[in-house]
């Protein structure tokens, strides 16, 4: 055995600071929170269609098309 394996074997059981279930719940809650933030930005371009049409008309673009 290597020195590291020997030291880890001698250390014995080390208790975790939180229950194991919490280590799965934390990323799940974080993922849901980030998903909620992403959801708030859905369809933002279409909320301002009048501004996009005015900009396109002023710059020689087709109405209803704000892309390049």
- Residue 57 domain flag: yes
Residue 49 domain-assigned? yes
Asked whether residue 59 is domain-assigned, the answer is yes
Q: What gap in Å lies between CA 37 and CA 27, rounded to an integer? A: 15
The domain containing residue 67 runs over which residues?
Answer: 17-68
> Residues 42-55: what's their mean pLDDT?
78
Q: Please, are residues 45 and 66 in contact by the beta-carbon 8 Å criterion?
A: yes
Total structural domains within the chain:
1
pLDDT at 15: 81
Q: In the numeric block, which tokens belong to residue 52?
A: 């996009």
Tell me, yes or no, whether 27 lies in a domain: yes
Q: Indicate the pTM of the whole model.
A: 0.51
In a domain, 6, yes or no: no
d(CA 64, CA 48): 11
Q: Can you tell me the mean pLDDT for 35-44?
A: 89
In a domain, 50, yes or no: yes
């Amino acid at each position: 055995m290597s020195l590291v394996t020997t030291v880890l074997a001698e250390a014995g059981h080390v208790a975790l600071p939180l229950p194991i279930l919490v280590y799965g719940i934390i990323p799940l809650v974080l993922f849901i929170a980030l998903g909620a933030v992403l959801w708030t930005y859905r369809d933002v371009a279409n909320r301002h269609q009048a501004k996009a049409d005015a900009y396109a008309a002023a710059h020689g673009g087709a109405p209803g098309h704000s892309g390049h």
